[in-house]
Amino acid sequence: MDDSRFRHDGATRYPGYDVLSKRGGPSWNEQTRRVITRRLSIDTQPHFFNVAEFESVSAIAARIVPQLALRPPIPVAALVDHKLHNGISDGYRVAGMPREREAWRQGLKALDAEATAAYGKRFADLAEGLQDHLLACMQRGDLNNPEWGSMHPQDFFTKRMARDIVLAYYAHPTAWSEIGWGGPASPRGYVRLDFDERDPWEAAEANENDVSRVRRTNRNVS
């Protein structure tokens, strides 16, 4: 598989670092390589959500985990869709919360009902400021459209929607490069575990005075 479209210089905190350079080295075993290959090959078309729902999830993800324009975007909505389509479950849920699939469908329907009642448009069609306002109201539990049923808006925000979106984002290697993480530590592991200590196979963090030096260091991390 060609990984070139996923490679980038990362955020300036870890210049020159690309976690995918570890693919052929001793940091990752074959199982890790297979998992990462599947994750990079995720279909960006929805299989669980319908088109309107997928547009809403994409809009929500853009507000919760806004992405840098300098690199290919992480397909957050597609990763959430993949989880639901394949029935991947957390194995638990709070009282009043439907199972994952039902919770997402009900929550998106309720959010669109709130948007339409307040502004006459679906959530995905609202300006970003209005989207932020509705999401903030959901987080505080200040929404009350009947479409929510027995599910509390605040629970949907914290226990389901935001959780799934953030986990999807940070499950992707592009996010790992941005935060300087080396991915699953198998079989090599990490040795230097104290503060401000770095294994040679970990990314170096830069400050404004040593970006060039750190970029050279990070290009040799594998």
Q: Is the pLDDT of residue 10 over 60?
A: no
Taking only the tens place, the pLDDT of each residue in 169-196 is 999 999 999 999 988 877 888 888 788 7
Q: What is the pTM of this model?
A: 0.89
How confident is the model at residue 11, as a pLDDT?
Answer: 53
Question: For the segment 120-146, what is each residue's pLDDT rounded down to a tens digit?
Answer: 999 999 999 999 999 999 999 999 999
Confidence at 47, pLDDT banded by 50, 70, 90 = very high
> Could you tell me which residue, 111 or 219, shows the higher pLDDT?
111
Domain ranges of the chain: 4-42+173-218, 51-170
Q: What is the pLDDT of residue 220?
A: 84
Complete DSSP assignment for the chain: ---GGG-----TTSTT--GGGGTTSTTB-HHHHHHHHHHHT--SS-SSS-HHHHHHHHHHHHHHS---TTSPPP-HHHHHHHHHHTT---S---TTPPPHHHHHHHHHHHHHHHHHHHHSS-GGGS-HHHHHHHHHHHHHT----GGGTTS-HHHIIIIIIHHHHHHHHHTSHHHHHHHT------BS-----STT---TTSPPPP-TT-HHHHHHHHTT--
pLDDT of amino acid 72: 87
